[in-house]
A and B are shown apart, each in its own frame.
Chain A
Amino acid sequence: NAGVMQNPRHLVRRRGQEARLRCSPMKGHSHVYWYRQLPEEGLKFMVYLQKENIIDESGMPKERFSAEFPKEGPSILRIQQVVRGDSAAYFCASSDGTSHHEQYFGPGTRLTVT
């Protein structure tokens, strides 16, 4: 499967725990974007990364949230000390960097904080 992969698909965490969401971009893509979606709402941009670099993190909360895209391995969105308001679907998308308007999305990770 050469599409965007995300895991886990569902994640349940208690308040105060850490959540780690993984994303492997489409083969040949080195540009990764993370979005958050609340029920009945559109997707909200969080962060844009290229290999080993954060390019734009203007949509990411300043505290508890971090993202990385190492030279080897998937991109990881990390949420520390989760709160109930973090419950949402988190989508990863990738592109080849030449057409940012055409992004390929993964199936998402549904995070539930209890």
Chain B
Amino acid sequence: GQSLEQPSEVTAVEGAIVQINCTYQTSGFYGLSWYQQHDGGAPTFLSYNALDGLEETGRFSSFLSRSDSYGYLLLQELQMKDSASYFCAVPSGSARQLTFGSGTQLTVLP
């Protein structure tokens, strides 16, 4: 089966940098995805890492270490609108479905 662990809550101030970690255990690994969800709304895709290293997309970056079964999402220059839940997820079931972590609630303070 698949399991993902991530912190339940993170708090940071506007303008700061925050890192949300995710460790996973999977039978068969294809890559690590990150999704953002505001107030129970539609989750939106942020990034995907299939290979080790850092992927940068604007203020957001995502890192993967396959040997450590670990990844993280890095958010820079935090803004109030970044307050949301962030989920790591892995493709499973022959890479067709997503298995999600329980989510990290990020609160950005002024």
Contact = CB atoms under 8 A, between A and B. Distances in A.
Contact of A89 (B40, B94, B97): B40
A99 B102 CA distance: 22
B106 to A, nearest CB: 14
B110 interface: no
Contacts of A59: 97
Nearest to B40: A89
Interface string A55-90: 110110000000000000000000000000000010
Contacts of A99: 48
Interface residues of A, number: 28
Contact of A43 (B43, B45, B48, B94): B43
Nearest to A99: B48
B103 A42 contact: yes
Interface residues of B, number: 25
Contacts, number: 68
Nearest to A95: B96
Interface in A25-44: 33, 35, 37, 40-44
A103 B98 contact: yes
A100 B95 contact: yes
Contacts of A37: 40
B63 interface: no
B99 interface: yes
Contacts of B42: 4, 91, 105-108
Contacts of B94: 56
Contacts of A105: 42-44
A91 B97 contact: no
Q: Which 8 interchain pairs have the tightest Cβ spacing?
A: A42-B100, A105-B42, A45-B97, A43-B100, A42-B102, A105-B43, A101-B33, A101-B91
13 contacts: A35-B98, A37-B40, A42-B100, A42-B103, A43-B87, A45-B97, A58-B93, A91-B42, A99-B48, A101-B98, A102-B33, A102-B48, A105-B44
